[in-house]
């Protein structure tokens, strides 16, 4: 049994003009110690999928159907009290904007310590605060004893994100979800933060789900990749195989848009058009208006995911 099994997950948001289907029939799994990337443009449904796993979709959003099995337990059937025990302890998440995720009125070290106290992994408040300082040092925060007493406004973006990583791993969860953890950071800091996340996952034996739009990061960080577009899963498989032998035209277009060392900016190939509105989408291939291979069948019928190799799946009629 996989550590995490997601089966046919569908998430909708009610709007005055109809229902926005942000994730449609999404299925994947995560093994212990695995590193899975979820890739796609903004609006493809990556973050919504992760929030669904955490039980954090609130009205007007709702999980319409599907199953989320974590360590054999169906999280969709779990009570809110049960989910609060799992979140942070066994299933933890790092959000995009670290400064908006930290309480501005409480010292950073105390916030990290509070997670351990809540989940009962520290013997006392003093023990939790000592462990919080140690964790801050583990994620590369210099002078952690002093920094633990400071407030979030005294932290840079990169330092705040490191504090959020410390908070997420405080209880040594089985799965760490990182939702574009470097998107709010300077380029010079991004690689450092990713290195911290990957090294911690290796050292603690955590499985990683990394949400990103950067295929360069995927190639250097993750063992498997899932490609999403307009709420649909279009391709999935081992990272090396998907990036070297991409089947779906959208995956190929994403790869063509990645700058290479020595390339001129003019050599990049942007994807024409934009993601369609997700309100009341027809049952077609949602990528067909932007796809050079699209046929009448693509405009009329949504292709299913089919096997294209060992563990490699893709949803395309023309390939």
Q: What confidence score (pLDDT) does residue 267 get?
A: 63
Q: Chunk the chain into consecutive blocks of 10 residues (it has 319) and report each block's average pLDDT, rounded to whole numbers.
A: 94 93 96 95 93 95 96 95 94 89 95 95 94 95 96 94 94 95 82 91 95 89 96 96 96 85 62 88 91 94 94 94
Which residue blocks in the chain are alpha helix, DSSP H? Answer: 46-53, 80-86, 98-101, 108-118, 125-138, 144-148, 157-168, 187-204, 215-221, 239-244, 249-256, 296-300
Q: Is the pTM of this model over 0.85?
A: yes
Cα 88 to chain centroid distance, Å, stands at 15
Q: What confidence score (pLDDT) does residue 264 get?
A: 54
In the chain, the domains with their CATH numbers are 4-90+171-260+267-314 (3.40.50.300)
Q: Three-class SS of residue 187?
A: helix
């Amino acid at each position: 049994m996989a550590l995490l099994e997601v089966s046919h997950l569908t998430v909708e948001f009610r709007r005055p003009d109809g229902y926005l289907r942000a994730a449609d029939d999404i299925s994947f799994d995560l093994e212990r110690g695995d590193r899975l990337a979820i890739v796609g443009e903004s609006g493809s449904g990556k973050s919504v999928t992760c929030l669904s796993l955490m039980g954090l979709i609130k009205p007007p959003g709702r999980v319409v159907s599907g199953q989320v099995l974590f360590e054999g337990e169906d999280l969709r059937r779990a009570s809110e009290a049960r989910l609060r025990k799992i979140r942070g302890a066994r299933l933890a998440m790092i959000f995009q904007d670290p400064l908006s995720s930290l309480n501005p009125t409480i010292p950073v070290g105390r916030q990290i310590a509070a997670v351990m106290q809540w989940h009962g992994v520290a013997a006392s408040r003093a023990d939790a605060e000592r462990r919080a300082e140690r964790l801050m040092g583990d994620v590369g925060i210099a002078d952690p004893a002093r920094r633990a007493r400071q407030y979030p406004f005294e932290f840079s973006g990169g330092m705040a994100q490191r504090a959020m990583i410390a908070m997420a791993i405080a209880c040594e969860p089985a799965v760490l979800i990182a939702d574009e953890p470097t998107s709010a950071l300077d380029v010079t800091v991004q690689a450092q933060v990713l290195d911290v996340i990957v090294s911690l996952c290796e050292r603690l034996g955590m499985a990683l789900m990394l949400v990103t739009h950067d295929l360069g990061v995927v190639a250097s960080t993750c063992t498997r990749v899932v490609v999403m577009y307009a709420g649909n899963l279009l391709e999935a498989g081992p990272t090396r195989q998907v990036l070297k032998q991409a089947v779906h035209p959208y995956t190929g277009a994403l790869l063509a848009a990645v700058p290479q060392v020595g390339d001129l900016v003019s050599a990049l190939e942007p994807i024409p058009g934009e993601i369609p509105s997700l309100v009341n989408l027809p049952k077609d291939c949602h990528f067909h208006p932007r796809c050079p291979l699209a046929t009448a069948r693509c405009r009329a019928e949504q292709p299913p995911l089919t096997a294209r190799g060992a563990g490699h799946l893709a949803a395309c009629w023309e390939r």
